[in-house]
Structure 1
Amino acid sequence: MDRFRSITIAVSKVHSSEAIKGSTPPSIIIGEKNYPKVPLIYNIPPGVQGDQAKEYEDPKGWWGKKSLNEILSLRSQMISSLLKKVDINDPFKLYEKEISLAGVSYKPVDSNAVSDKKGIEAKLRFDGVLIPRGPSLEVNDIKVEDNPKLSPHLEKFIFDDVKAEEAILELYRNGEDYYKIITGLSLGLFGLKKNRKLVPTRWSITAVDQAIGKYLLPQIRRFGEIDEVEVYYSSYLGNYFHIILFPSTYRSVWVEIWHPLSLWANELIVSDLSEDYWGKYDFLDGGYMASRLAVLEKLHERKRQAGVIIIREITAEYYAPVGNWHIRETTKRALEENKIATFEGLRDAIKFVNMRLKAKDKVSLEDIKSIKKLLVQTSIDSFLNKK
């Protein structure tokens, strides 16, 4: 009912014959449908202007403060202004109209979208990777009526003729907001100028995760190992995370436990994947890539390497997907703020975590394939020490 009320409020502020007026937080999505002629979604909360618009898309600010229902309510109040068939090979057109610059502004940008279409499609759209979007209306044009405010580092790379990966890493090293880097890549603001293209937002999230991980991991492999087994914990939006770091060269295991009636699960489901020392993983999983980046950042900060086990438990409290940002942020908070135990042996840490699971009576972590492999594997170091 709250979501319905929010949608009704948003729709009531707009007449199809008029412009949708307000400030984008900013919030822009490049879709994948009909590639290479893709949709651009420019989100505006009607009637909301200036700094008040920021909370409508603020993953870092939301974490730990906004409930799932509050996030859905905020997203329901934004109108998705839909520009269809945008050519991915012409990002300069969006730059000329300052649409792409509005997308990477660090302050909300006054905007309006003009439409001659009838009727707003009044429904929410959910996604496991992208933040939900609200009611949508196909528009003829989007006008940016304010000056976007860009960070100096980001603005520099819009004009520099360097490869996109170089731009991503340099921005990352200079402390640019992670989500701005994703949007900048998606809107074709980085890269060799002759090669620049729009990138569907879902793809750009994975590309940035991979580029930063590729940069951090070789450095981490040169560091010394941690001295003891460490267990960290955090939770948010019905997702419960335990992270185990153990003395080892880098390797990683990701386990997801989906409770009945949670998203996409009518019965208890357990899935896992593993990543080896060289950064080769079983398959690409957006949730793992988000959590993995937070772990790599923490190991790099500590100048240590370790074996990693990440256990994500998803309960029925998480009744609607809001993207994978919360996975990254929750993992980060756990490693920064909440070490809950240390152990001498990995098996003891795994048993400890197992007893803390909400599904503890139905799941044996030691019997999960990827974890079992860690426990029975004899390392070269231990073999040499026995000799």
Structure 2
Amino acid sequence: MTRPAPGGSRTGAPLDIDPELAGARSLRSGALAVTLLVALIALALISAGSGQLHVPPLEVFGSIMHRLGLDIGPMPGHANGESALWNIRFPRVAMALVIGAALAAAGLLMQAIFGNPLAEPGVVGVSGGAALGASATIVFGWAFLGEWTVAVTAFVGGLAATLIVYAMSRANGRTEVITLVLTGIAVNAVTGAGLAFLTFLGDTAAREQIVFWQLGSLNGSRWQQFGIVLPLVLVGLVVAFVVAKQLDLLSLGEKSARHLGVNVEGLRILVILVVALLVGASVAFAGIIAFVGLVIPHLMRMIIGPAHLPLLVVSTLGGAVLLLGADLVARTAVPLADLPIGMLTSLVGGPFFFWLLRRTRRSSGGWG
């Protein structure tokens, strides 16, 4: 018989300790991870070959194998196929994979420390701060770091907003979740006002850049950018995997977690900083991409349950699949146009969030 742990799980079903049920969930998690990995590889091959210059998936695969020194598969038949793949397509695919995984992991971490499946990275002001930093750079024409100036100021702005939210919500050595949420709302309101003011100050070209950056895009991704984002995301993911077991204990409730030896306040600080790192690194080069961190973790939790270690694995894979698919649609839906990827993820995430809101309200018997 299944016995829920004391207090249950705040972000999903109770943490089960029945060996048979745990084994079934482990099998389901493994099957889902393999399915997502296969889908990811197939989608990456299709995405890399799609565009104005079509390259069949087998030729994409052959190009990768030949770069690895293996004489497997056909090479691209078009004269410019190899150059298009390695200079344009593959950097964009790689950025979509890494950023999708980072945003999904950040969303999972936010839901874990807030104990609420409706939480997402924007709660702590990362996206708003990043948008403010990038917009200020665009409007005032800052170029002290050359072409990297917008990315760096966006990252710094996101991290600064997160630290301000945390500092203002901390009192007597502790941080209450509800205070953190309300402080995040206030800081987001301030950054929104600052963004509106900068949009007002900017000329037509600056306004167009600001709007496009806010909608998110992977257009123009390069290997140099990938080389910067990848280490930051890897550090964040490694820390997330390390604290996954502690997040399981935290889901039992703060008091129970403390009795089991978890430094709740230290864990919360660490997770918030990791979220800022993951989201800041992502939006610095891709702009604001909404709802990936909300949709994927909750969907994965519905399938495999609340245990955070397997949930983190499938969420990172699911986030990569979602963003890669959205980027493929963004590049191919309208001929000779590149749609904002944030618009597409919002089209998926908006209805999902509404459904999730209604579902949560029904299950909890109201918000009062």
TM-score (norm 1): 0.23
Write 1 or 2 for the structure with the bigger share of strand.
1
Write 1 or 2 for the structure with the bigger share of helix.
2
* Higher relative contact order, chain-length normalized (CA < 8 Å, sep 6+): 2
TM-score (norm 2): 0.23
